[in-house]
Amino acid sequence: MTSTEPVTTGGGDTEEAGVVARLSTLDRFLAVWILLAMALGLGLGRLVPGLGDVLAAVEIGGISLPIALGLLVMMYPVLAKVRYDRLDAVTGDRRLMVSSLVVNWVAGPAVMFALAWIFLADLPEYRTGLIIVGLARCIAMVIIWNDLACGDREAAAVLVALNSVFQVLAFGLLGWFYLDLLPGWLGLGEGQALDISMVKIAANVLVFLGIPLLAGFLTRRLGERRLGRERYESGFLPKIGPWALYGLLFTIVILFALQGRTITSQPLDVARIALPLLVYFALMWFGTFALGKAVGLPYDRTATLAFTAAGNNFELAIAVAIATFGVTSGQALSGVVGPLIEVPVLVALVYVSLAWRRKFTAG
């Protein structure tokens, strides 16, 4: 799964208990480490004066270098495990590709738009920020959730690449549609516009997906050429595997340290924003999981489809909100609350997915 690969057994509680017993301490108590990382980040951001400002200043072109480093360390081991010679089988699966496009670029933004207006009709700044979160489809952290849930690595690589292309091409257009045009059509009031260029979005995609994807691809190609596939997969990959979770924990600490004071100083507002986010993650994940099974996808691709549909590109959403509305705006706060809710919810859904794994294949 991470530092220890999943073991396929013939079924039964005894075999599964044996697998769990062989997991490392890091793997076995992952949920605990993630919650501790969130708490540590929030505590540092709240208790250390100026820490958030210092971390925020370490950036290039609006991209946080500490977060970029954490995501690179997190994603690299997983992308180095991908069998790139199998990608043709993924792209040829029309059920998977069409389902991904529909749930990510039609259903996802529409669901978030509806929930934002239902729950935050009286709070336009938070509502706008939430809609921006819905437009920023996940291209980074979903890689680790998918791997933890024993999803299809090759499918995840293809779907996040597909999301990246659509993010560059469609983000600005969808922002105009959902924030400016559609509210006017529905008589919901005056719309708002996003000031974000395709160049900035492309830079975001390059840093958070392009670099680790290229690193993983080159590692696989050069590693197999030098070591052979068997030695590469049995010797090299287990050594770098734990770094995926180290990178995840580091990213969580930095992310919440950056916004710790903002989150902890406005608990009631955070609660208002959190409620539609919880509903959104539940609707997108469970709905997409049901869709995957309905169209006949196997468990691993269904899990990949569900996690790519439920996850969001929090870094892009926060960057867009800050660039357009300001760092102290309600829109920025909605972006910040996104990962606060997404991280523990998707960790919980990893366990739900694994619990359904045997029932899915049996059914």
- Residue 324 pLDDT level (bands cut at 50, 70, 90): confident
Q: Is the pLDDT of residue 11 over 60?
A: no
- When mean pLDDT is compared across 3-12, 34-43, 286-295, the lowest value belongs to 3-12
How many CB atoms lie under 10 A from the CB of residue 182? 17
User: Computed from CA positions of residues 113, 346, 288, 161, in that sequence, does the dihedral angle turn out positive or negative?
Assistant: positive
Instruction: Give the mean pLDDT of 113-120.
Output: 95
Tokens 């959190």 locate to: 274
The answer to whether residue 319 is domain-embedded is yes
User: With bands split at pLDDT 50, 70 and 90, how would you rate the model's confidence at 52?
Assistant: low
Closest CA to 269 of 358, 330, 339, 343: 330
DSSP per-residue string spanning 223-254: HHHHH-HHHIIIIIHHHHTTHHHHHHHHHHHH
- Give the rounded percent of residues in the chain with a pLDDT score beyond 70: 87
Which secondary-structure segment (H or E) carries 300?
Answer: helix 299-310
Answer whether residue 324 is part of any domain: yes
Structure tokens at 86: 């199998």
Side chain identity at residue 300, one-letter code? D
pLDDT score for 21: 47
Residue 19 clears pLDDT 70, i.e. is over it = no
Please compute the mean of the pLDDT values over residues 104-128 and round it to a whole number: 94
Neighbours of 108 (CB within 10 A): 26
Within-domain flag for 15: no
Please provide residue 354's backbone torsions phi and psi, each rounded to the nearest 5 degrees: -65, -35
Mean pLDDT of 162-181: 87
Beta bridge partners of 88: none
Q: Residue 192 has what pLDDT? A: 66
Residue 49 falls within a domain, yes or no?
Answer: yes
Residue 139 has pLDDT above 60, yes or no: yes
Q: What is the pLDDT of residues 226-266, one digit of tens each?
A: 999 999 999 999 999 888 889 888 988 887 887 777 777 88
Q: For position 158, what pLDDT does the model report?
A: 92
When pLDDT is averaged across residues 43-62 and rounded to a whole number, the result is: 76
- Residue 2, domain member (yes or no): no
Quote the pLDDT of residue 277. Answer: 96
Question: Which residue range forms the structural domain that includes residue 243?
Answer: 26-362
Taking CA 78 as the corner, what is the angle to CA 56 and CA 243, rounded to the nearest 5 degrees? 60
Helices 299-310 + 94-102 axis angle, to 10:
20
* Residue 6 resides in a domain: no
Predicted local confidence at residue 23, as pLDDT: 52
The answer to whether residue 8 scores a pLDDT higher than 50 is: no
Within a domain: 9: no
pLDDT at 348: 92
**C-alpha gyration radius of the chain:** 20
Per-residue pLDDT, 2:
44
Distance, CA of 107 to CA of 165 (rounded, Å): 18
Q: Which of 240, 360, 346, 241 is nearest to 302 (CA)?
A: 360
Mean of per-residue pLDDT scores for the chain: 83
CATH at residue 169: 1.20.1530.20
What domain count does the chain have? Answer: 1
Per residue in 179-206, pLDDT tens?
888 888 888 876 666 666 667 777 777 8
| Cα–Cα dist 340/318, whole Å | 12
pLDDT at 93: 92
From 202, 213, 221, select the one nearest 156 (Cα to Cα).
Answer: 213
CA 101 → CA 79, 107, 185, 307, distances in Å? 22, 9, 25, 13
Q: What is the rounded distance in angstroms from the CA atom of residue 23 to the CA atom of residue 25?
A: 7
**232 CB neighbour count, 10 Å cutoff:** 19
The pLDDT of residue 251: 84
Would you state the pLDDT for residue 194? 65
Q: Is residue 245 part of a domain?
A: yes
Lowest mean pLDDT among 95-104, 120-129, 262-271: 262-271
